[in-house]
Amino acid sequence: MNLKNNILKGKVHYLTSDYKARNNNRSTHNGMDFIGPNQIDDIVAIEDGTVTYTGYDNGGGGYWISIKTNGIEHRYFHLAKGSFKVKKGDKVTKGEVIATMGKSGNATNYNVHFAIYKNGYQDPKPYLMNEDPFNIHGNKDDNFITFVKGVQQALKINGDGIAGKETLNKTITISRTTNNKHPIVKVLQTYLQSLGYDLGKYGIDGVYGPQMEKIIKKYQTEVVGLKGNLVDGIITAKKYTWQKLLKLS
């Protein structure tokens, strides 16, 4: 798996179990499990932060470390006993070795279980694929972050500015006849204008009208890559246009 932020010192990551991928309702696995090419590898911090916990999880996580960055915890489980290189209160830097992979706790083989915790467990993938996962370096794509936060606020979900499965799964259908005056319309218009689209004489009015439909058809053709009947000017919940808008495809 190609990641922008490394968990393993060797920088090669093989995913052995995905987030929420343990049973049919995908509800029991709160992180992602990785091994390296030689299976065992040292674990590194994915970002600068402060160590908030080192210890043992009797619930199955084994030896683990938690690091907090900008209010969000990145957690590393199933570590080898006696391999900790840091202690609670330490400041760590991105890429610093913090421990070695193990199979402590509820693990049948050597691996690291990586999790993101912010008001509950979150999908780790957006954090692993984002060049500035905790927004501490001043992400250059401020318009996109503002857009994602606006979408999340309009949908009344956690507004951290990081688009993931949770955000996509809460999206709603927007068209000239469906949710055409929903608060999310103004968020969409503001973002599309920042991308250079001409909103016409009515501008950012919060109404999904003919000009907005025309823009979305153009976006679906030129950016999403849709053809034929799929170019319909409708932003369908959870589908292609939303995926592209949220940079999830």
Query: Which tens digit of pLDDT belongs to each residue from 141-165?
Result: 678 889 999 999 999 997 788 888 8
* Pairing, β 121-122 against β 112-117: antiparallel
pLDDT digits (tens, 9 = 90+) for 182-230: 999 999 999 998 888 888 888 999 999 999 999 999 999 999 999 999 9
Residue 238 CB coordination number (10 Å): 13
pLDDT at 27 over 90: no
Structure tokens at 212: 């907005």
Confidence class for position 140, pLDDT limits 50, 70, 90: low
The alpha helices in the chain, defined as continuous H runs, are: 125-129, 142-154, 165-169, 183-194, 210-219, 240-245
Angle at CA 196, nearest 5°, toward 195 and 201?
A: 125
Question: What are the residues facing 55 on neighbouring strands?
Answer: 64
Q: Which CATH architecture has domain 14-129?
A: Distorted Sandwich (2.70)
pLDDT digits (tens, 9 = 90+) for 51-110: 999 999 998 999 999 999 988 999 999 999 999 999 999 999 999 999 999 999 999 899
Structure tokens at 90: 């330490």
Residue 35 CB coordination number (10 Å): 19
pLDDT digits (tens, 9 = 90+) for 217-243: 999 999 999 999 999 999 999 999 999
User: Can you give the pLDDT at residue 26?
Assistant: 46
- Whether the CB-CB separation of 16 and 34 falls below 8 Å is answered with yes
Measured CA distances, 56 to 12, 76, 105, 171, 210 (Å): 26, 11, 8, 38, 59
Model confidence pTM above 0.85: no
Q: Where are the domains of the chain?
A: 14-129, 142-245
Confidence class for position 23, pLDDT limits 50, 70, 90: low
Contacts of 38 (CB under 8 A, 6+ apart): 10
- Whether the CB-CB separation of 127 and 5 falls below 8 Å is answered with yes
Look at the alpha carbons of 121, 161, 19, 40 in this order and tell me if their dihedral is positive or negative.
negative
Which of 183, 247, 240, 238 minimizes the C-alpha distance to 216?
240
Measured CA distances, 136 to 29, 93, 116, 151, 187 (Å): 28, 13, 16, 21, 24
DSSP string, 86-145: --TT-EE-TT-EEEEBB--SS-SSSBEEEEEESSSEE-SHHHHH-SSTTS-S--S-HHHH
User: Can you give the pLDDT at residue 113?
Assistant: 97
